[in-house]
Amino acid sequence: MIDLKKAQQLILDATPVLGRESVPILDALNRVLVEDITAVQDLPAADISAVDGYAVCHGSLTGASPSHPASLRIIGEAPAGKPCRSTVGTGEAVRIMTGGLLPKGADTIVKIEHTTESGNTVTCNTDPGTGAGIRFKGDSLKKGDVVLHAGDTVHSLEIGSLACLRRAYVTVHRKPLVAIVSTGDEISDFHEPPALDKAMCSNLYALAAQVLETHATPLCLGTVPDDLEAQKNVLSEAMRADVIITSGGTSRGKYDLIHKAFASLGLETRFSSIFVKPGKPTIFGTIGKTLVFGLPGNPSATMLSFEQFIRPALLRMMGHLNGSDASPAKSNGNSRNDPFAQIDSFNRALGGNKAHLRPSQVPLGNIRTGNGRPLGRQTPCHDIQTDQLKVAAH
């Protein structure tokens, strides 16, 4: 029996980083880049306007002020995407919008707020200085600049950057294919009628959802009874996956056969018992390059074991080398609202599961009654008289 930290390290040490694949830009979301992304041209590619206003020769603005404005003749217009072909000379101006291409001859843009237009003439009441209002070629990026690095995770901001660089396809680490099998004579699926001696295979779907949340690809192989040959056949089919997850049958009872089924396929067992509750009878090993996890059948223990052991391995496979995507949205396991909070022995916020509370057979966090009130939850309240924190049971 080994402790949690050692088990987690054994798993990460045995976990390979998967190879590369080229995917369409939107399929790269939440994936890890395999190679640096560089700019293939300057950005912007030419001098453009940073403001709405008038493109002029700076020499035409000499001495311009509110009391002595400069009057210029408008010779054209340059909206974004529609360049003006005229050349700006002394005493001339081109009406220009943000993003518009700077016309030839112009070297300054006067903001529209500092002008007054009347007919074909614009009056400028300020001299903003040569180069004002212009985003010059290469201001944002120079050709050859590294924009994103190998190992970076692609989020929405990076998608926008890739689009700016005209990268329709991106090379990222491959997603792992995760085969999931739920074992037990007592397990049934949607296509079977409910029965008193059967329980729904919630683990199959909960694990598939957790795999999807990790941005890997689940391969649900359904349920298999407590029959050694049947389990061997299903697991043989699962060998095409990068990871195999089973739920149930990991203890040492008469009908707990998953150990034998794995052994028949050549499993190299790394551990088969962990010093944790829930999740003690967890199996981990490898068959060739395939990672194999045998999880307990209790739904809460199964889901908690996935978070503690499998999710970090999947992330590492996808290029997150520390086994974490450092997502702020993910629970750190210390929250009182965590669905595993009451059963997790390592939940510091609750002082750990010292009472060894038995996890529910239904993987729910905040169970509520019909009127919406929490059932059997403890919430802190403030005693004004003693100014001490007390706990009231609802």
Domain at 20-42+146-173: CATH code: 3.90.105.10
Select from 2.170.190.11, 1.10.10.10, 1.10.150.20, 1.20.1280.290 the CATH code of 48-135.
2.170.190.11
Cβ within 8 Å of residue 334, ≥6 positions away: 347, 348, 349
What's 312's DSSP letter? H
CA separation for the pair 269, 251 (Å, rounded): 15
Q: Topology of domain 4-15+176-317, per CATH? A: Molybdenum Cofactor Biosythetic Enzyme; Chain A (3.40.980)
Six-digit token pair at 199? 């329980």
Distances (CA, A) of 1 to 4, 17, 90, 147, 190: 10, 27, 86, 47, 37
| β-bridge partners, 148 | 37
Give the per-residue pLDDT at 393.
31
Give the per-residue pLDDT at 351.
54
What pTM was estimated for this model as a whole?
0.76
Helices (H), 258-298: 258-264
Give the per-residue pLDDT at 33.
97
What's 346's DSSP letter? T
CA separation for the pair 7, 12 (Å, rounded): 9
Per-residue pLDDT of the chain (394 residues; tens, 9 = 90+): 788 889 899 999 999 999 999 999 999 999 999 999 999 999 999 999 999 999 999 999 998 999 999 999 999 999 999 999 999 999 999 999 999 999 999 999 999 999 999 999 999 999 999 999 999 999 999 999 999 999 999 999 999 999 999 999 999 999 999 999 999 888 888 998 888 888 888 999 999 999 999 999 999 999 999 899 999 999 999 999 999 999 987 777 777 788 899 999 999 988 876 656 665 678 899 999 999 999 988 888 899 999 999 999 999 999 998 777 754 334 444 444 444 444 445 455 555 555 544 444 455 555 444 555 554 444 333 333 433 323 223 3
CA separation for the pair 10, 291 (Å, rounded): 12
Six-digit token pair at 249? 């049958």
Distances (CA, A) of 341 to 353, 361, 362: 8, 15, 15
CA separation for the pair 157, 164 (Å, rounded): 11
Give the per-residue pLDDT at 282.
85
Q: Where along the chain do its domains lie?
A: 4-15+176-317, 20-42+146-173, 48-135, 368-394
